[in-house]
Amino acid sequence: MKKFASVIIAVVTLILCFTLSACGNKYISHYSATLMVRTNTSNKASVSFDSFSGIDVIKLKNNSADEVFISYEATLGEGNVKVHYDFNDEKLNLFDIETDGSAKGKTETFTGNKTIYIIIESDGKCSDGNFSFVLEKSEK
C-alpha cells in the first residue's frame, strides 16, 4: 500500500510540475502544420508554411529603452488569418489576411524594455503562407 501511495504522489507531483511550468507563458502556441519553417530571434521573426491550422505565438523583445516599431509583410495563398499583437497586456488586431491576400505595414511605436507578442491565428486550414516581422528603431 505504501508503494502505491508513493507512486500516486510521484505522478501527481510530475503533473503539477508540467502544468505549473507553462503558467509563465502569456500565450501558448497550438497548431498543426506541414512544411513549416519558423525563425525567431529577439528582434526578427518569420513563419512560412504549406498548410497551417491553429495559433502560433511569436515573441519579440525590445532590449533597450529606445522607441521601436514592428515592420511586417505577409502573404497567404488560401484561407483566413488574423494577426494580433500584445505589448501592454492588451491584445490588438494588427491585420487580417484572406485567400490570395497580402499585407505590409508597421505598428505603432513602442517604448520600453518589454516583450511584444505576435499572435498568428487561423480560421480553419490555411495554405501557402509567409509572414515576417522585424523590430526596428524609430527615427526621431
For the chain, give every domain's residue range.
28-137
This prediction has a pTM of 0.77
Phi/psi zone of residue 65: left (φ > 0), alpha (ψ -120 to 50 degrees), beta? alpha
> Who contacts 40 (Cβ-Cβ below 8 Å, separation ≥6)?
58, 59
At residue 24, does pLDDT exceed 60? no
Residue with cell 511586417: 72
CA separation, residue 79 to residues 51, 60, 115, 134 (Å):
10, 26, 29, 24
CA separation, residue 15 to residues 30, 63, 128 (Å):
19, 34, 37
Mean pLDDT of the chain: 84
Residue 23: the pLDDT is 47
Higher pLDDT among residues 127 and 43, named by residue: 127
For the segment 93-110, the average pLDDT, to the nearest whole number, is 91
Task: Give residue 22's pLDDT band: very low, low, confident or very high (50, 70, 90).
Answer: very low
At residue 87, does pLDDT exceed 80? no
Topology of domain 28-137, CATH = Jelly Rolls (2.60.120)
At residue 12, does pLDDT exceed 80? no
- 15-19, 45-49, 84-88: least confidently modelled range: 15-19
Length of the chain: 140
